[in-house]
Chains A and B, each alone.
Chain A
Amino acid sequence: MSSIIAYIRRDEWSPYVAGILLGIVGVMAVWLSDSLLGASGAFENVVGIIGKAIAPDVFNNMYFNFIMPPEISWGVILLVGIFFGGMLGAATSGTLKWGKRDAANSDEQWKQIFGRQTWKRWAVAFVGAIILEYAAGIAGGCTSGLAISGGMLLAPAAFLFIAGMFASGIVTAMLVYRRRY
């Protein structure tokens, strides 16, 4: 029992153990809620709510009216859960960053490659997130909503997406890291 608790408190688990947990969560989502895990769609629901509040004319289009309506969907609640799950995970290993001095830019490998300036990290995180969300829209989902949720149903879309993601991810990492790739 104490060895189980010690394992839970570890900063990093074996990816196989963590993967089994995610697999069970994926099955439970279908079994209990008839829903698929996802993350990118929830951001679309949320921006629909914000957009309809501040610029109702602009956000009065087919997408925000019918395809991703502005609502607190199942996926939005799931996303809130993911937030607290990350918090709980870091709390069990004592690696929470709230209030820590390096909370704004904490990865040592990032600092080695790009330097210590926070603005650089924030600029790349912002642009990267825009690219990710737009790409998820085109593809029909993100790593959770398409790669995992589609893959577990054996949808070809998931494996096409994963192949594209790894191909361009590898090329991008080569270009960013150059000699240090």
Chain B
Amino acid sequence: MSTYIIALFLGVFFGFALNKAGLTKYHKIVNVFRLTDLAVLKFMMTALIVSMSGLYLLRGLGLITFPNVPATYIAGNVIGGLIFGVGMALSGFCPGTCAAGSGEGKLDYLIPGVLGFLVGAALYGLTYPQVFPAISAIANVGNVVIPDLWNLSPFFTVVLFAVLSIFLFYLIDRAGLHRKDRA
């Protein structure tokens, strides 16, 4: 029971963050792909820096163990990402932002969006035996993390990721590394 209450609270903060980052707006999502507004990228990279620092620190202190690491099977991860990008650039949402936008009362998220996710989930589940085992067998490296895979220090990997991301933010914000909107 208490774990459900935690899930509910974490979900509220998650949806709140999506709303405040502007990700529940069609133009915000599409404009990251038009490279005219990179807020989505900044939001995602910042979340990654904070969460990976926190998690590797807590693991280093022995306070947590990592849950099931998402599996790396190169062809499936990339092909799935390629198809996902098409859906995201067309609709201007993704499963999480659609749920948050539905709560805001956006009916195009709540009705065709949620119905579409349910139809897509049914199609995927029903075709799973024909599709997933084959695609996940290609270049499957299992449930690995980069520091173990490449034999790097976790501390070094996290710091490197943070430094590269902050350099990217610098280029975007100070050097104007984005396109001008002419739409």
A residues sitting closer than 8 Å to B (CB atoms) are 10-13, 15-37, 39-40, 42-44, 46-48, 50-51, 58-59, 61-64, 67-68, 74-75, 77-90, 95-100, 103-110, 112-113, 118, 121-158, 160-173, 176-177, 180-181
Contact = CB atoms under 8 A, between A and B. Distances in A.
A136 B50 contact: no
Nearest to A28: B10
A131 B103 contact: no
Interface residues of B, number: 128
Nearest to A148: B47
B94 to A, nearest CB: 4
4 nearest A-B pairs in the assembled complex, by CB-CB distance: A81-B11, A85-B15, A139-B80, A164-B81
Given A39-B94, A125-B113, A131-B90, A23 B47 contact: yes
A119 B47 CA distance: 35
B108 A125 contact: yes
A85 B99 CA distance: 9
10 contacts: A19-B43, A23-B46, A39-B95, A43-B118, A77-B11, A84-B8, A89-B19, A137-B125, A162-B81, A165-B84
Contacts, number: 527
Contacts of A158: 70
Contacts of B92: 107, 110, 128
Interface of B: 3-4, 6-22, 24-27, 30-35, 39-40, 42-52, 54-56, 58, 63-74, 76-109, 111-126, 128-129, 131-132, 135-136, 141, 143-147, 149, 154, 157-158, 161, 169, 182-183
A142 B132 CA distance: 16
Contact of B183 (A28, A68, A112): A112
B101 to A, nearest CB: 6
A176 to B, nearest CB: 7
Chain B contact surface mostly: helix
Contacts of B21: 12-13, 15, 18-19, 22
A154 B143 CA distance: 11
Contacts of A106: 106, 108
A128 B115 CA distance: 11
Contacts of A37: 10, 14
Interface-central residue, B92, B112, B141, by most chain A CB under 10 Å: B112
Contacts of B161: 154
